[in-house]
Structure 1
Amino acid sequence: MILYLNLNLRKDIEAMKTKKKAKNNFSRADFFRTLWQYCEGGDADLRAFPSKRTELVPSDKPEAVDKFCADNDADNLFFGVALRRGGRTKKHITEIPAVWCDVDYKDTPRKAFIEKSKHFPFKPSVMVFSGGGVHLYWILQEPVTQVEIGQVELINRKIASALGGDMNATDASRILRIPDTVNRKPERNNALCKVERIDNFAYFLDDFDDLAEPDTVKTVSDKDTDYDPAKKNRRAEQIMQCAFMAHCQADAATLPKIQWYAMISQLVREKGGVRLIHELSRPYPAYSAQETDSKILHALNDTGPLTCKRIRDLWDCGKDCGVKSPAALAHKKEADDNIREQIQKLNEKYAVVMLGGKCLVMQETVNPILGTPDVVFSALKDFKNFHANCFVRGPDNKKISLPGLWIQSEERRQYRDIVCEPNGTPDGCYNLWRGLAVEPVQGEWSAFKNHIFEVICDEDRDLFRWVLAWIADLFQNPGGERPGTAIVLRGGQGTGKGTFVEQIGKILGKHYLPVASQSQVTGRFNNHLKDTFLLFCDEALWGGDRSKAGVLKNLITEPIIMIEAKNKDAFPLKNRVRMIMASNEDWVVPAGIDERRFAVMDVSDRYKKNYPYIEKIKDEMKNGGREAMLYDLLNLDISDVNLREIPKTKALLEQKINSMNTVQKYWYDPLADGEGDTIWENWVKSDELYQNYLMFCDNIGQKKYRVLKPMFVKEMKKLCPKMTLSRPRAENQVRGYNFPSLEHCREMFEKFINMPLDWYEPEDKIL
């Protein structure tokens, strides 16, 4: 008989009804008030997992339930449907307020459950969304006691069979989720357990007598117990790995009943377990399907599988697998697999590396600006702090810190060193080399080739040959010895300097880096250079900063580079950097007198700001030109080109002159002026010569670079070896210097600078 509660509910239930609550607007207090409204009183069994904290609180104290939930908010929280006194086991049950069903959408999809519920004759009094399914309660007008526990469990199984519920949740001592708490199973994504509906229905226990018997009893007849190995569940497979379970299978014909029951208790709650139990039991001479079904039902109602400690008293396997029971092997395997999966996910992104004597975590990432692959390094502490909120469940269901687990795992990805090596990766090292961005294919790139010849090399065929060889060497020999020279392009804006370098860079892909700041080239922090093969310094002016000249030159020639990121120790790498510089300034690089690094060339302005011309080049290169250029340059014979010997261009000479020290500039100035200057008297007083030098330094704004007189004289003798000291009587024995002829001095200066100069003659100056 169904009893409608609109006449019999207590006042608080009636008040709840008059509120006309909307769906999903029922509170935890509403839920417990409805569930236990007909009970005389008892203790609610509250439990928290995985912390295993428990508490018995009076059922009429909802605030005690709220406090327990607040104190254990980080756990999964459950309550016993039945009220207890004096303990938490089945024998302590005093009243059972309802029958229930736990439906997991993973086992019974929501659509299937809805279809089944349409044909179920009893509407639930309460429906709770569990985070992954539903908990259904049918309130009993007359709560049942210990005497009727068996009947309650049978009805629970009948309901579970009809609605696709969990048979493991039919036990009278079952605990279910507390509403308004979070389902913290990893696969549930912190879903909120909440009351979906409270309806005004109450039932008597015998209303459910006519429900069909549960499938657990119906389907374990002899004809249905043929075990299909193809349907073997992975969890059951893991359980059968246990030595005791293997013994039960091998010795099934003579297995003692207590061991037989121990075997049943391990498999009964697993999917396909009933069929497997019958298959394992059939070799016993006195096998009976009915007796086996009875043991299965008994095991379902038992507190759980027999423990390893108990099994050892029956049959000692001589092993310790680190689990409480053979059934736990399945969970252990799942936990181990999950841990391994999480470690592999971290391995996809992170690795432990030794770098400069430090143990660091390397992260593979993508540069947000350039869109190219990159790696960054973090201290172990920083890595752990970033992932401090990441946990996995261990075999004992305890939370384990994922970063710490990964650091200690034998399966973590790790490297003993970092290299950037196109010629192959040394064992145990992480290679920063990613290869070229395009594949070589025969084709056409004449527009770009003509651009190099006409604009970059200003139709100088020898220079054109040298530049092509320089680029070809970069592609042919990226991991070999570098030539130790850099290309320097001097010319106005819009002449095509950037277009030239950009197309080379697109072939290199990730290993090309354009910069526009001197600090990015000569600064202390140079992590961006660790895997750079072509560095394009676009207007990254040297600016005459002598303190940076050595850094710039070392970057071009030194085989090793010390890489230093901010807040990280420096570490050495093979220096792969080749450099192209571009500027519209007169003085671009610190070219020394015997300069051997900078191949300086003046770019032609014949196509300056000719945008259709530039677009034609870009279109050609985008449509197969880069592949064709790579193909041709990879096959270009450059054996007859000495890339270590830079072309002696007029632009290089001007860089040398601009880079001279103050004494050299002082001497060059009168040489350029020629005859008629007072300096070309046969004899000049020593003090007068030096004072003249000091005034010259002041006039050109380089006072701080003046040298003392002894150094001045020493430098002058290098520039003019035939300069001699004398004390003529006509000058009252005053010390002075004799100089050779202007022509001879110019000749010695050209020899010193290792380049011919275009001197102005006196008549040219007058004209």
Structure 2
Amino acid sequence: MTQHASINRANPRGAMPPNFTAADASHDFPGPICSSETGGPEALADGSVTGERLHSVAGVVDRAADGKVDMSFDEAQVRVFVSLIGLPCMVLRIDATQPSAPHARTCATIDEVVASVREWNPKKWNIYWLPNVATVVDKKPTKQNIVTARHVWADCDPDIKQHSTYEAARQHLLTTHADKLAPIASFVIDSGNGLQAFFKLTEQLPLLLHGDYEKYEAVNKQIGEAFDGPSTYNCDRIMRLPGTLNWPTAAKLEKGYPKEPSLSRLLTLSDRAYSLEDLAKLLPPPKPATAPSKSETVSARTADVADQLQRFNALLASDHTLRTRWKGSTEGLHDTSGSAMDMSLYGLLVARGFSHDAIVEIMADWEHGGKGREQGERYWDRLKDNTKATLLAHTAMDTAVAKLNERFALVTVGGSVLVLDEESTPVNMLKVEAFRLLMANRTVDVPTANGNGIKKAPVAEAWLKHRDRRAYNRIEFAPGGGVPEDTYNLFRGWTVEPCFGMTLEQATNNCDLFLTHLQENLCRGNQELYKYLIRWYAHLFQQPGHKPGVAIAVSGEKGVGKSKVTEVIAELLGPHALTVSQRSHLTGQFNAHQAQALLIVAEEAVWAGDKQAEGALKQMITSPTMTLERKGVDAVPLKSCARFVMNSNAEWIFPASADERRLFALDCGSDHKQDDEYFKAIDDQLYGPGLTSHKPGQDSPGLRALLTYLLGLDLTDFNVRRVPETDALKAQRAASLDPHEQFLKDCLESHEICGTSWGKNAPPVPKRELHDAYLSYMRNHRRSYPVAQETFAKTIKRAFGWRTCQPRGKQRAWMVEGWNESRAAFEAAMKVKIED
């Protein structure tokens, strides 16, 4: 990794910044700071990550904010740290000068991280990173967005109350407490004020069910309490990015923190990693059993908080009053202060049946309201005590609307308004008249015009006219999340949950028959090809919103299992997998069936030289957007995340050019052709004995293990666009040759040119004679539209590099090279294989 000189130039040795303590100057940590995995000794050459304390750069910071210097953060520290945690990396910024919501950006390269820090940090924006893995890429994740845990931690703040002053509290952290953490933590960060000790997990833990979050956060809380960092154990926590400036906020200043910014830095680094069992050994012995604490009792009473959070997200789309207050509207409030906003939202949530703990969780990330929330539990208790709201009384019409909202929503698609039906698979769009017809036999009690009575009304009309009807302004397909609240996300998730706590090795053992089929049958034992293939599929699940731009083509005889792989992956994807068998279903005008597809499988779809369809297919493979067109509905642009796999018995599956970069081609082996017992064993392991597919409510242990394996596979060094060259790809290129190119290939394979044997030496061949031979070839093969002699000549020069000559009194001729030289030139230029 390229190292950069430290940017910490403004404070030479002896020039103490205002928040520089004696501990900063004197303390050295024991043991090596940088392991060989992050660059070894070279990473320390410029002093960017060392055992000695790096100075604050307060003097540089002020000038950086005024635009008088180029940079004030430590770029080398940032680069070393990002190389440690791996990519992609989510970085977030928060304005230190005023209350504001975090803004997030997911970076694919270290350079992108550095560019973000360079853009944000000098503006007095604090920079953070996300220790765990989220499904969203462009916003601060909530707990429900975190799908994988990679670390646990102890986030230790200076205890000014115990040590009397900030300086004394910080000195304690950087000496006594750091000595305690350095020998056991995977790495320790000085955040500029406190310490953050991280314990890397040996295996990433899937977090998808409510119980998964509870188990992980319980461990994280225990580690935090054991090492004096008890308050920040939530799985969606963001942490200070080493090498960046820690700008003080108003809340920090009120606590007695220094006014000057300080530099966060990586203090210690090791290759330690822990299983959950290993972490348990670090904890002190459990205390004797006592009566449950207040927090434990509350936790037991509110185990459904996660369900309430999901209900809140759904309610935002349909509840006008709640939605407008959530957006920051002060409509109807006499007191518009921040605390009054908090009180109003709290009351609205109580009236809608949310528990106190769920409300605290919901409002924790609310970007409006007052600063009082920073006081913690005491402030929340005051809100609870001062709120007089009662549960709303629901009318029959309210109940009917709420019930229809669970299934239907009104959505704008282009210039049309449709009714979205979530119960259909995939999600269906109904015209409003069709919805009215569907609901025509259902009525609801509504008040009469004068309000003195009740009458029956069509439930469809009541729902369409109701203010709390669920509605969206647009649709989007965003597997990574992050869509605006007025946008309906067509992504429905996976059909099964991964196995919590299962290691990668355990996952492999529970789906090894399927993985062996990929390796031995599809890849014919070639480890390089298998490594690419399994990571291509892992990329689909780990980064579903990032289109790879590479399709897969699998050829082979009938019954050899070439379609088995896509059938199994489709079981994981559910409505997000689509199988087509006709070319028109893939490249035709109406393509609504493709809107929700992450994987499109073309079975026996033959292109047969249709240039228009070929162009459309190649565009679909690489384009990040598609034009969604339904019958009778305006066409609209939509994000495309679809991957393509083509399975066929035909020799020609994909129109591949010589410089083809969009295709990974395989030729499936036939060792298990029509082997029913072989394929039954795979199904039994994936779905259960005697089962051949997954159904809702079914355990499918092997399928869950496969998802766990694909989600846990390390893709750090995987470049999906670096496609291996295969003989199967050369075969696809050969099948895609134009007729005049195929004619030249046939000449090579027959060792004959213009009726003359083609060996080590060959006499010059008149140009007209060779072109006439090509024309005869076209007639014999009943091919139309031969190319002109000029085009034919250009192809010969490109394919062979032959020169021309004109013997005295004769026609111009090609100076034909020997067969071996010509074969090598043709194979190199056309990237095909000549069968000898």
Normalising by structure 2, we get a TM-score of 0.47
1:729 aligns with 2:808: yes
Aligned to 1:395: 448
Contact 1:727 1:735 in 2 (8 A): yes
> What is the alpha-carbon distance in structure 1 between the residues aligned to residue 753 and residue 771 of structure 2?
20
Alignment coverage as a number of residue pairs: 415
Candidates 781, 785, 792, aligned match of 1:700: 781
Q: Which runs of 5+ in 1 are unaligned?
A: 1-332, 367-372, 761-767
The aligned runs of 1:33-48 (5 Å cut-off) are none
> What is the alpha-carbon distance in structure 1 between the residues aligned to residue 427 and residue 492 of structure 2?
12
The aligned runs of 1:659-670 (5 Å cut-off) are 659-670=736-747
Deviation, structure 1 residue 475: 1.4
1:406 aligns with 2:472: no
- More displaced, 432-441 or 395-404? 395-404
Contact 2:417 2:432 in 1 (8 A): yes
Aligned to 1:416: 473
Deviations for 1:268-300, whole angstroms, at most 9, x for unmatched residues? xxxxxxxxxxxxxxxxxxxxxxxxxxxxxxxxx
The aligned runs of 1:99-498 (5 Å cut-off) are 337-366=395-424, 373-384=425-436, 387=439, 392=444, 393-396=446-449, 397=454, 402-427=459-484, 428-441=486-499, 442=502, 443=506, 444-480=510-546, 482-498=547-563
Contact 1:425 1:431 in 2 (8 A): no
Alpha carbons of structure 1 residues 351 and 672: separation in structure 2 relative to 1, 3 Å:
same
Partner SS, residue 345 of structure 1: helix
Deviation, structure 1 residue 560: 0.7
Among all aligned residue pairs of Structure 1 and Structure 2, give the percentage whose two residues are the same amino acid.
33
Deviations for 1:370-426, whole angstroms, at most 9, x for unmatched residues? xxx222223445544655666554423566555444333321111111111122241
Deviation, structure 1 residue 753: 2.0
> What is the alpha-carbon distance in structure 1 between the residues aligned to residue 497 and residue 400 of structure 2?
36
Deviation, structure 1 residue 703: 1.4
Contact 2:754 2:770 in 1 (8 A): no
Aligned to 2:589: 524
Candidates 551, 556, 574, aligned match of 1:509: 574
Aligned to 2:73: none
Alpha carbons of structure 1 residues 379 and 440: separation in structure 2 relative to 1, 3 Å:
closer
Contact 1:539 1:582 in 2 (8 A): yes
Deviation, structure 1 residue 670: 1.4
1:649 aligns with 2:649: no
Contact 1:507 1:626 in 2 (8 A): yes
Candidates 816, 827, 831, aligned match of 1:739: 816
> What is the alpha-carbon distance in structure 1 between the residues aligned to residue 416 and residue 803 of structure 2?
58
Contact 2:748 2:834 in 1 (8 A): no
> What is the alpha-carbon distance in structure 2 between the residues aligned to residue 359 and residue 399 of structure 1?
26
> What is the alpha-carbon distance in structure 2 between the residues aligned to residue 509 and residue 379 of structure 1?
25
Deviations for 1:652-704, whole angstroms, at most 9, x for unmatched residues? 11111110112211222212223565476543333333222222222233214
Aligned to 2:795: 715
Partner SS, residue 422 of structure 2: strand
Q: Which runs of 5+ in 2 are unaligned?
A: 1-391, 689-700
The aligned runs of 1:536-551 (5 Å cut-off) are 536-551=601-616
Alpha carbons of structure 1 residues 352 and 676: separation in structure 2 relative to 1, 3 Å:
closer
> What is the alpha-carbon distance in structure 2 between the residues aligned to residue 671 and residue 497 of structure 1?
32
Deviation, structure 1 residue 605: 1.0
> What is the alpha-carbon distance in structure 1 between the residues aligned to residue 461 and residue 682 of structure 2?
54
> What is the alpha-carbon distance in structure 1 between the residues aligned to residue 754 and residue 429 of structure 2?
63
Residue identity in the other structure for 1:750: E
Alpha carbons of structure 1 residues 664 and 456: separation in structure 2 relative to 1, 3 Å:
same
> What is the alpha-carbon distance in structure 2 between the residues aligned to residue 386 and residue 665 of structure 1?
58
Alpha carbons of structure 1 residues 544 and 450: separation in structure 2 relative to 1, 3 Å:
same
1:555 aligns with 2:617: no
> What is the alpha-carbon distance in structure 1 between the residues aligned to residue 458 and residue 418 of structure 2?
18
Alpha carbons of structure 1 residues 363 and 507: separation in structure 2 relative to 1, 3 Å:
closer
Contact 2:799 2:830 in 1 (8 A): no
1:601 aligns with 2:666: yes
Partner SS, residue 468 of structure 1: helix
Alpha carbons of structure 1 residues 602 and 417: separation in structure 2 relative to 1, 3 Å:
same
Deviations for 1:156-184, whole angstroms, at most 9, x for unmatched residues? xxxxxxxxxxxxxxxxxxxxxxxxxxxxx
Alpha carbons of structure 1 residues 617 and 759: separation in structure 2 relative to 1, 3 Å:
closer
Residue identity in the other structure for 1:460: N
Deviation, structure 1 residue 459: 1.0
Alpha carbons of structure 1 residues 648 and 700: separation in structure 2 relative to 1, 3 Å:
farther
> What is the alpha-carbon distance in structure 2 between the residues aligned to residue 345 and residue 642 of structure 1?
47
Contact 1:394 1:400 in 2 (8 A): no
Candidates 616, 635, 644, aligned match of 1:579: 644
Deviations for 1:488-536, whole angstroms, at most 9, x for unmatched residues? 2111222122322222221222212223222222222221111111222
> What is the alpha-carbon distance in structure 1 between the residues aligned to residue 469 and residue 803 of structure 2?
72
Contact 2:620 2:626 in 1 (8 A): yes
Aligned to 1:134: none
Residue identity in the other structure for 1:395: T
- More displaced, 441-450 or 387-396? 387-396
Aligned to 1:81: none
> What is the alpha-carbon distance in structure 2 between the residues aligned to residue 348 and residue 632 of structure 1?
33
Task: Spell out structure 1 runs of 4+ moving beyond 6 A.
Answer: none
Alpha carbons of structure 1 residues 349 and 634: separation in structure 2 relative to 1, 3 Å:
closer
Deviation, structure 1 residue 537: 1.9
Aligned to 2:653: 588
Partner SS, residue 517 of structure 2: helix
Residue identity in the other structure for 1:596: R
> What is the alpha-carbon distance in structure 2 between the residues aligned to residue 701 and residue 646 of structure 1?
36
Partner SS, residue 650 of structure 2: coil
Normalising by structure 1, we get a TM-score of 0.51
> What is the alpha-carbon distance in structure 1 between the residues aligned to residue 458 and residue 707 of structure 2?
50
Partner SS, residue 717 of structure 2: coil
Deviation, structure 1 residue 458: 1.0
Residue identity in the other structure for 1:567: G
Deviation, structure 1 residue 639: 3.1
Aligned to 2:118: none
Deviation, structure 1 residue 478: 0.9
Aligned to 1:117: none
**What RMSD over aligned residues (CA atoms) do the two structures have, in Å?**
2.6
Contact 1:495 1:607 in 2 (8 A): yes
Deviations for 1:525-581, whole angstroms, at most 9, x for unmatched residues? 221111111222222333443331112222221111122223322222211111222
